[in-house]
Amino acid sequence: MAKKSPSMGDLSGLSVALLARLAETPAPVQEMSLPPGVKQDSQGYYREKEILSSDGGTRIKRRPVALTWEEAKARHMDYYNPQHGWILEGYKRESDRTPQEIMADSSIASPDPSLVGKD
C-alpha cells in the first residue's frame, strides 16, 4: 500500500513538533501598496476628500475604502481602479469621462430592436 502524503486539509500525518513550529512561524507579511491618499486606522481603510459645504466653505469628508471591487460593491465603499480612477460606493465613477475618452471608445450604439422599422 502506497503511503499518502498529507493534504492541506489533513494534517494528521505531520508530527507534533512540526505542527508546533508551523504555529509559531508568523505568516509572511505582504507589502501592499495602498491607492493614493488612502490611510488606515483601527476601523479600516479610508480617504479624506475635500467637499463643498452648505455654507459655501469646504470641509473634509472621511470616505471608507475597499481594497477589492467585490467588497466595494457589497459594502457600498469607494474603490480605486488604476485605469478609471475612484469608483464611488462600488458603482459610480468619481469623474465623468472626457469627450476624447468617449470618442476613443470602440463601442457602437445600437438601436432598440423593438423600435426598428416602426413608423
> What's the mean pLDDT in 13-41?
65
Instruction: Report yes or no on 20 lying in a domain.
Output: no
**pLDDT at residue 64 tops 90:** yes
Residue 62 lies in a domain: yes
Residue 110 falls inside a structural domain: no
Which residue carries 465623468 as its cell?
96
| Strand, coil or helix: 30 | coil
Handedness of CA 35, 57, 94, 75 (dihedral sign): positive
Q: How many domains does the chain have?
A: 1
Cell of 39: 490611510
Q: Is 10 a member of any domain?
A: no
Q: Answer whether residue 4 is part of any domain.
A: no
**Cell 492541506 sits on residue:** 8
Q: Which residues pair with 93 in a beta bridge?
A: 87
Domain assignment present for 48:
yes
pLDDT band at 65 (very low <50, low <70, confident <90, very high): very high
- Decide: helix, strand or coil at residue 50: strand
For residue 66, tell me if it sits in a domain.
yes
- The residue that leads in pLDDT, 28 or 50, is 50
Quote the domain boundaries for residue 44. Answer: 36-104
> What does the alpha-carbon distance between residue 26 and residue 34 come to, in Å, rounded to a whole number?
22
H/E stretch holding 99: helix 99-104
From the centroid of its chain, how far is CA 83?
Answer: 13
Inform me whether the pLDDT recorded for 119 exceeds 80: no
The answer to whether position 43 is within a domain reads: yes
The model's pTM = 0.53
